[in-house]
Amino acid sequence: MADSTDTKETAASNPQEPPLRKFSWSYWLILTTIIGTFAIYFIRRGPQATALAPSKISLLDARFGFTPVEALRTLSAIGPEGRKIYAEINKVDFIAFPFFLREYLLNTFPPTTRTRDRIREALVNTYFLGDMSENLFVAVMLKAYPRSPDFVAWGGCVGNVVKFSGIYASLLSIFYEIFRWFTSRNEKTEKTE
């Protein structure tokens, strides 16, 4: 999967830098199983938190941005039981999920050059910091409900937008590496014919 010339040039140019990540099917399958387990949990618990709302509503984590009015409206609509479930979801999201998703995004078709590796790491860290800050501000909003200052909701919104931007950009990086892998395989096949 790796471009051997890119890897050798990178290693020779700076021996102090750690080696590039290598794709491991077993590690990737373990991470995929963990991420899938979290996804099942979130898919199951999310609707339970919003079930008592008078109209169809989504939790703040599932939106791309929100205003303080929307945040307060959501927390009011889901009621005390929904807020309790949301607080549980937020704890799971805050304590474990971002760490595993960060590792998953870094190790799914990892970049084969130092430059692309740095770009991927920056994008994934952008996601990670956004998700962690969003979770922190949502936890504060849940704890302080109904008297949460607007800047807390705006902080959660910024974290939310940064989170989704980082995820989408990281996925583009992964798709680019998949594309490079397929094109390099096709070039090798054509050379052998």
Length of the chain: 193
Backbone angles phi, psi at 19, to 5 degrees: -65, 155
Query: Among the residues of 14-58, which ranges form H helices?
Result: 25-50
Q: Which amino acid is at 59?
A: L
What residues have CB less than 8 Å from 13, skipping those under 6 apart?
A: 114
- Cα dist from 105 to 17, 21, 110, 188, whole Å: 21, 12, 8, 27
Higher local confidence (pLDDT), 122 or 19: 122
End-to-end CA distance of the chain: 20
The mean per-residue pLDDT over the stretch 12-23 comes to: 77
Could you tell me the pTM of the whole model?
0.84
CA dist 120 and 127 (Å) reads 11
The pLDDT > 90 percentage for the chain reads 80
Banded model confidence at residue 78, pLDDT cuts 50, 70, 90: very high
For residue 128, the model assigns a pLDDT of 98
pLDDT interval class at 37 (50, 70, 90): very high
User: Mean pLDDT across the stretch 95-110?
Assistant: 96
CB 119 within 8 A of CB 20: no
Q: Does residue 65 come out as left (phi exceeding 0), alpha (psi in the -120 to 50 range) or beta?
A: left
In the chain, % helix, strand, coil (3-state, to 5) comes to 80, 0, 20
Enter the DSSP assignment of 131: H
CA distances from 73 to 52, 68, 76 (A): 13, 8, 5
If you average pLDDT over residues 163-187, what whole number do you get? 93
- How much is the average pLDDT of 31-37? 97
Residue 160's CB is within 10 A of a number of other CB atoms, namely 24
Confirm if 61 and 86 have CB atoms less than 8 A apart.
no
State the sign of the Cα–Cα–Cα–Cα dihedral 162, 166, 172, 173.
positive
Q: Tens of pLDDT along 103-155?
A: 999 999 999 899 999 999 999 999 999 999 999 999 999 999 999 899 999 99
